[in-house]
């Protein structure tokens, strides 16, 4: 048996938090899952606009914005230790799979 319930919907952030209870064969096999999903369409569209507005010939400065990352993803990267390790974070930002979170091209 599975029971799903919405805990929270945040229209501003586009997040949906859900509680899921999955009954197992015995009480010790029961599972409780709290999941949070986020619609990142608006963030990706804003990142595309930002990337198109940047002069590609202008060099990176010390305070150049290079990405905009959804909060859920940021916390996941933080939990993995990626955000706190500059080399791993640069590698993550330069990965083509993560290009939608970049606000300008080039390499970090």
Q: What does the pLDDT read at residue 63? A: 78
CA-derived radius of gyration, the chain: 19
pLDDT by position in tens, the chain (length 108): 789 999 999 988 888 999 999 998 888 899 999 999 999 999 999 999 998 887 777 777 777 889 999 988 999 999 999 999 999 999 999 999 999 999 988 888
Which residue, among 93, 96, 49, 37, has the nearest Cα to 69 in the 3D structure? 93
**pTM metric for this prediction:** 0.71
Domain boundaries, the chain: 2-38, 41-101
């Amino acid at each position: 048996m599975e029971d799903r319930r919405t805990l929270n919907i945040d229209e501003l952030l586009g997040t949906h938090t859900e509680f899921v209870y999955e009954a197992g064969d015995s009480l010790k096999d029961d599972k409780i899952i709290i999941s949070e999903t986020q619609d990142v369409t608006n963030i990706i569209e804003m990142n595309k606009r930002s990337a198109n507005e940047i002069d590609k010939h202008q060099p990176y400065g010390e305070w150049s914005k290079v990405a905009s990352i959804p909060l859920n993803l940021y916390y996941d990267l933080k939990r993995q230790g990626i955000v706190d390790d500059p080399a791993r974070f640069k590698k993550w930002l330069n990965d083509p799979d993560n290009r939608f979170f970049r606000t300008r091209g080039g390499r970090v």
